[in-house]
Amino acid sequence: MLGAGPAALCIVAELVEKGLLVTALASHPPNKPWPNTYGIWAEELESLGLASLLGHRWTNTVSYFGDGIGEKGQVPTLHNFDYGLFDQTALQNSLLLRCGDLNWNVETAMEIRPVEMNTEVVCSSGNVYQARVVIDASGHRSRFIRRPNHGPVAQQAAYGVVGRFNFPPVEKEQFVLMDFRPDHLNKKQLREPPSFLYAMDFGEGLFFVEETSLACFPPMELTQLKERLHKRLSHRGVKIEEIIHEEHCLFPMNLPLPDRKQPLLAFGGSASMVHPASGYMVGALLRRAPTLANTLAEAILLEPALGSADIAKLGWNVLWDRELVQRHRLYQFGLRRLMSFDEHLLRSFFATFFRLPRKDWSSFLANTLPLPRLIVVMLKLFTISSWKVKIGMLFGAF
Ligand SMILES: Cc1cc2nc3c(=O)[nH]c(=O)nc-3n(C[C@H](O)[C@H](O)[C@H](O)COP(=O)(O)OP(=O)(O)OC[C@H]3O[C@@H](n4cnc5c(N)ncnc54)[C@H](O)[C@@H]3O)c2cc1C
């Protein structure tokens, strides 16, 4: 196993519980705090019985898709659905606890190669490890996982600040998923790729504000996002008084699916598990790890003759079964369309999307809709969209 991020810990915890002997290699100790804060809709965690892992939870959850002008342009879309942020330490510790007394080797993998029926990992220290199958959970930048080249990969970029402000940037106890109001932008900026504000009240005078670009190639520059964030805030009379933490975010949204014939398995960012429509993944890791671990345990414990290639094949087949591949393709198609939308069309699209029944939009974002239902929801969305959005969805906007 390579990695000690959320993906590695989720799958290692399951594998250890299934009685498998795991050798874990990660370039840092597994209890080193993760650099990112992870958000999730609360119901997704509740369905896994893990809601206690939330460090913050908001009931007042809104977005803004108006033009920001006049009273009508300022009306929020109410989500009426709780959103939360993981308590990072609690999530990490609860997964590590499930890994028992597993010894984590602080090692950086440099090369992975087949050796007879097994796989060998060569580390920068010179140490070499062998396993019946290797799972690469080293994130979306993995050098080891083969995937087809489908051209430029769109990235989500964001610049955020946790800090104190002269005036609350969002309402008390509020979470803002997407504030797309564009009234602070000039004509030139309105023609540039759109970005939105993701923001929340942490209480005790602390807020998080983040200017986010959904997905772009080339990715939006962090300096541009920072400039936009300041402009957006000052337009509303808000100034940052104290920066406690800055977040720089950049990760791929439509990384092609890995080649599922390779003898190396992957999980998490390296397995392209980020949801192409939302950029979220942690819920999927927690949901999909048990199934993958079951398959691997059966293969490894019950079939001693299977080699790395056979075990990896079984793993790929459950991790990316036909249904999940089809769903992923639909999401990627949707994202490509959205990337062609200007800010006006994008606002119109999202305003319509959140008019869908809550069960539909939330399951769409969590990727828990079975394929036929996903198609029905997408058709429903198409039906209730304006003709401009319909044309954009069919042919892309120009
Ligand atoms: C700023 C940011 C915010 C995000 N916010 C959210 C969110 O709110 N909700 C959500 O669901 N998703 C979010 N994501 C998306 C996704 O969940 C994260 O990218 C997540 O961290 C990916 O997990 P991972 O374990 O696959 O990879 P990583 O977290 O990148 O972990 C990779 C691990 O592999 C190790 N490693 C790398 N190379 C090697 C090597 N050669 N040998 C050994 N070890 C190696 C690293 O040290 C690390 O431990 C966010 C992503 C970013 C970048």
DSSP structure string for 92-154: HHHHHHHTTTPPEEE--EEEEEEETTEEEEEETTS-EEEESS-EE-S-TT-SS------SPPP
Contact 391, 363 (CB under 8 A): no
Alpha carbon 211 to its chain centroid, in Å, reads 16
Q: What is the mean pLDDT of residues 258-280?
A: 97
What count of other Cβ atoms lies within 10 Å of the Cβ of residue 173? 12
Q: Check whether 279 has a pLDDT greater than 70.
A: yes
Q: What is the mean pLDDT of residues 41-58?
A: 97
**Rg, Å, the chain Cα set:** 22
- Amino acid 162: pLDDT: 97
pTM attached to this predicted model: 0.96
Lining residues, ligand 1, CB within 6 Å: 2-8, 25-28, 36, 38-39, 108-109, 137-139, 247, 249, 251, 268-269, 274, 279-282
Q: What is the mean pLDDT of residues 124-135?
A: 98
Q: Which residues pair with 216 in a beta bridge?
A: 155
Nearest CA to ligand 1 atom 53: 249
**Residue tagged 């106890």 (tokens):** 173
Q: Check whether 386 has a pLDDT greater than 80.
A: yes
d(CA 225, CA 158): 7
Q: What is the mean pLDDT of the chain?
A: 97
Distance 397 CA to ligand 1 centre (A): 32
Amino acid letter, residue 325:
V
Distance 269 CA to ligand 1 centre (A): 6
Contact 169, 238 (CB under 8 A): yes
Q: What is the mean pLDDT of residues 91-111?
A: 97
The dihedral sign for the CA sequence 29, 258, 279, 80: negative
d(CA 4, CA 347): 38
Q: Check whether 37 has a pLDDT greater than 90.
A: no
Q: Tell me the domains of the chain and their CATH numbers.
A: 6-30+99-150+256-320 (3.50.50.60), 41-86+155-252 (3.30.9), 330-395 (no CATH)
Q: What is the mean pLDDT of residues 236-264?
A: 96
Q: What is the mean pLDDT of residues 372-377?
A: 98
Percent of the chain with pLDDT over 90: 98
Q: Which two tokens stand for residue 95?
A: 């997964």
Q: What is the mean pLDDT of residues 142-171?
A: 96
Contact 33, 89 (CB under 8 A): yes
Distance 197 CA to ligand 1 centre (A): 22
- Amino acid 398: pLDDT: 63
Distance 5 CA to ligand 1 centre (A): 5
- Amino acid 343: pLDDT: 93
Reported as a pLDDT band with limits 50, 70 and 90, residue 397 is confident
3-state secondary structure of 205: coil
Q: What is the mean pLDDT of residues 185-196?
A: 93
Distance 271 CA to ligand 1 centre (A): 12
